[in-house]
Structure 1
Amino acid sequence: MAAQLRFSPLFHSKIFTGNCRPRTGKISGLSSLLPTTSSLSWSPALSLLPRASIPSQAFTAGGGGNDSGGPGHRGSGGGGDHGGDGHSRDEPERSDLVGPIGLFVNGWRARVFADPQFPFKVLMEELVGVSSCVLGDMASRPNFGLNELDFVFCTLVVGSILNFVLMYLLAPTAAVSASAASSLPSYMFEPGPFSLFSRIGTFAYKGVTFAAVGFAAGLLGTAISNGLISLRKKMDPEFETPNKPPPTVLNAITWAMHMGLSSNVRYQTLNGVEFVMEKALPPAGFKASVVVLRCLNNVLGGMSFVMLARITGSQKAVSDEAKAGLISHGSDVVSAAESADSELQSSDSHLK
């Protein structure tokens, strides 16, 4: 469900060149309308961000080469403080919180400072991306998933966590300098002087990263889902789930395989397709095509995960177990009939 975790070409309209002026092109307004990532495709870590990051020079307030519409622009004119409070205009405010919460809050502020549309993109990705994924998940199950709503709920929880974590990791911050650009392309088919080894390395690196995030989110999401179902059973002793809860570790491994294989392949392919469409279609047609492709990609991601979960056995429906029981029982009946027939034949031979 998620091949569009990237910042090229959709995000490249926000990347500044040496003279600190944004590039222009067909898709200059698209990044403000669409989230730059998508569900169940999930992303590289911060070490790969410099290629899609904004130079720190682009955030210096005051006169000069910055356009007023640039991301993270905080007003104009001279000065360096916000009303004398000690915070520079070219840096996001820091939180007084400590520990993991403080790190998260400061990271969130840095991302919003670099891209004011970041909260909106996260919201749209959670609503549209996860909804498309769940739709594909339900469409792949018997009776449109109504008999396996516990599995669908687990997919919803894991997908929501995956989307947020990967968008957070991919988002640029003002603190990352363009001089630290990675030698790897952001996706396999990105235009540029990249060697075949570098492109293969990008595919492998993204696959490992996607798998790691998928495993972590699978562990957390499955534990949350199973915990909520257990809490419901304690509150309502008569409540019974239609299926056995998915094993936490096995379900997390399934998510890791799905992210490293299916999502990674779709991520690379979709980025290449969008690059070709950008060159061939007018801006309006390109935007509409991207929306359609991303929704279809998320639906396909949900369907592919259900197929993989059936193969690994992480999500076994009662109907599947009943079929397996019937098959086993039928084989036992056949073997018993064959043994009885052989006994009759031997008794007939003795009588003769």
Structure 2
Amino acid sequence: MGRSRSAEIESILAKAGSSASELPSDMQEALARGALYAQDVKQWLAIASTPLLGWICQHIPAFRDRVLGNPRFLLVLAIEEALGVAAKMSAEVQSRGDDFWKEIHFVASDMALEVIGDFAIVWLLSPSRSFKPPSNNSAARWINGLPGHALQVGPFSPVQRLATIGYRGLQFFCVGFGSSILGHSLTKFMVDRSNEGAGAHKDDKQLAPVLDNSLGWGGFMALSSNSRYQLVNGFEERVLDALVQNNGVKSVVTFLLRFGNTFVGGAQWVWFARCVGLQ
């Protein structure tokens, strides 16, 4: 079985004018172990021949693994970033009004954190195709065996699916807490620098408590964002893929679904922040 698979892979590579020695090192090792499949190679050849994407995947294996393991990864990433940036920029323009350009450095800081946060959400929940051998550490091996999200299609046990919710929740908390700490620290630094040269015209804005807001945002991401995105990913993989075959229609439904999720998330944050006394 292993030899016939290797022969099939070598045939695929030869037809593409390539060879096993040109595969990424971890894929070569997987081929030697009999853990590389023909479909992996076909997908990799298609990705490697794509401008920019091929370069990124060649230099960032973890990104490549997600592109290979989740056909929807790039689409979802683009949609989440577009929705997040559009919603954030709209909020910045509305809240800052005539001071928008005067506070453009704050805007840039907020937008950078939005981009990072949206990327982290998609990254954490995306299924991936790893070519690394199983870890010798039993705990690491068990964690690496968890699905990307709780409803991912595959032979995962109920315990693994429940553990995924908790594990991703912890990761979401860390992302939310860390990004909030960074955002508030950058804002405070910029306000202080602005006030140094402002003289009598110092900015008297009261900044929100850093730790309280960071804990609140981390908790919100662990509870609300985690559960909502688990459901969204599950719906796309189990329902959308089964009912819709046209890729264009899938893209539209995915956009609308994630737009609705973003709207619900914004409303939930206001409710959550008021409940815990942050607003």
Per the normalisation by structure 2, the TM-score is 0.61
What one-letter code is carried by the residue in structure 2 that aligns with 1:216? G
Q: Distance in 1 between matches of 2:197 and 2:212?
A: 27
Q: Is the 8 A contact 1:211 1:259 kept in 2?
A: yes
The answer as to 2:99 corresponding to 1:128 is no
1:278 deviation in Å? 1.5
Supply the RMSD in Å over aligned alpha carbons. Answer: 4.5
Question: Where does residue 249 of structure 2 map in the other structure?
Answer: 285
Where does the alignment leave 5 or more consecutive residues of structure 2 unmatched? 11-24, 32-36, 51-56, 136-140
**What aligned pairs does 1:180-199 form with structure 2 within 5 A after superposition?**
182-199=144-161
Deviation at 1:204, TM superposition (A): 0.9
**Structure 1 position 162, deviation (Å):** 2.1
User: Residue 56 of structure 1 corresponds to which residue in structure 2?
Assistant: 27
Matched, 1:260 2:225: no
CA distance in 2, matches of 1:68, 1:300: 35
CA 1:155–1:68 in structure 2 vs 1: closer, same or farther (change >3 Å)? closer
Counterpart selection for 2:277 from 313, 316, 329: 313
| AA at the equivalent of 2:168 | K
Superposed CA deviations along residues 163-191 of structure 1, whole A, max 9, x for unmatched, are 34556667899974275674322212223
- For residues 43 and 152 of structure 2, what CA distance do their matches in structure 1 show? 29
1:211 to 165, 173, 179: 173
Answer yes or no: is 1:240 the counterpart of 2:225: no
Match of 2:114 in 1: 159
TM-score relative to the length of structure 1: 0.50
- Spell out, residue by residue over 1:63-113, the C-alpha distance to the aligned partner (whole angstroms, 9 max, x if none): x953376365379xxxxxxxxxxxxxxx95xxxxxxxxxxxxxxx643466
2:262 partner letter? N
Q: Amino acid of the residue matched to residue 294 of structure 1?
A: R
Rounded Cα–Cα distance in structure 1 between residues aligned with 2:255 and 2:133: 29
Give distance in 1, aligned partners of 2:163 and 2:64.
Answer: 31
Q: 1:59 touches 1:174 (CA, 8 Å); kept in 2?
A: no
Change (3 A) 1:294 1:166: closer
* 270, 274, 278: which one aligns with 2:236: 274
| Pairing 1:315-334 to 2, within 5 Å after superposition | 316=279
Rounded to whole Å, the distance in 2 between the matches of 1:197 and 1:126 is: 29
Aligned residue-pair number: 226
- Kept in 1, the 8 Å contact 2:172–2:221? The answer is yes
Aligned-partner Cα distance in 2 for 1:113–1:198: 24
Greater share of helix residues, 1 or 2? 2
Correspondence 1:95-114 to 2 at 5 A: 109-111=60-62
Q: Return the alpha-carbon distance in structure 2 between the equivalents of residues 195 and 223 of structure 1.
A: 42
> Structure 1 stretches of 5 or more lacking a match?
1-16, 22-53, 76-90, 93-107, 317-352
CA deviations on 1:203-253 (whole Å, 9 max, x unpaired) are 111111111221111111111122222322333342535x52111111110
Counterpart residue number, 1:330: none
Q: Deviations over 1:110-141 (max 9, x none)?
A: 34666599xx87984685142244278x49xx
Task: Provide the rounded CA distance (Å) in 1 between the counterparts of 2:224 and 2:260.
Answer: 14
Aligned twin of 2:260: 296
Larger radius of gyration: 1
Contact preservation (8 Å) 1:214, 1:255: yes
For the 8 Å contact 1:122–1:164, the answer to whether it is kept is no
Q: How far apart are residue 195 of structure 1 and its match?
A: 2.3
* Structure 2 counterparts to residues 58-73 of structure 1, below 5 A: 65=38, 66-67=41-42, 70=45, 73=48
C-alpha distance in 1 between matches for 2:275 and 2:110: 16
| 2:80/2:258 contact within 8 Å kept | no
Distance 1:129 1:271 in 2: 16
SS of 2:42's partner is: coil
Q: Residues 334-349 of structure 1 correspond to what in structure 2 (within 5 A)? A: none
User: CA separation of 1:189/1:67 partners in 2, compared to 1, >3 Å: closer, same or farther?
Assistant: closer
Output the CA distance in 1 between the equivalents of 2:96 and 2:123: 32
The 5 Å alignment of 1:218-229 reads 218-229=180-191
Q: Distance in 2 between matches of 1:112 and 1:273?
A: 23
Change (3 A) 1:165 1:227: farther
- Indicate the structure whose relative CO is greater, using CA pairs within 8 Å and at least 6 residues apart: 1
Report the Cα offset of residue 197 of structure 1: 1.8
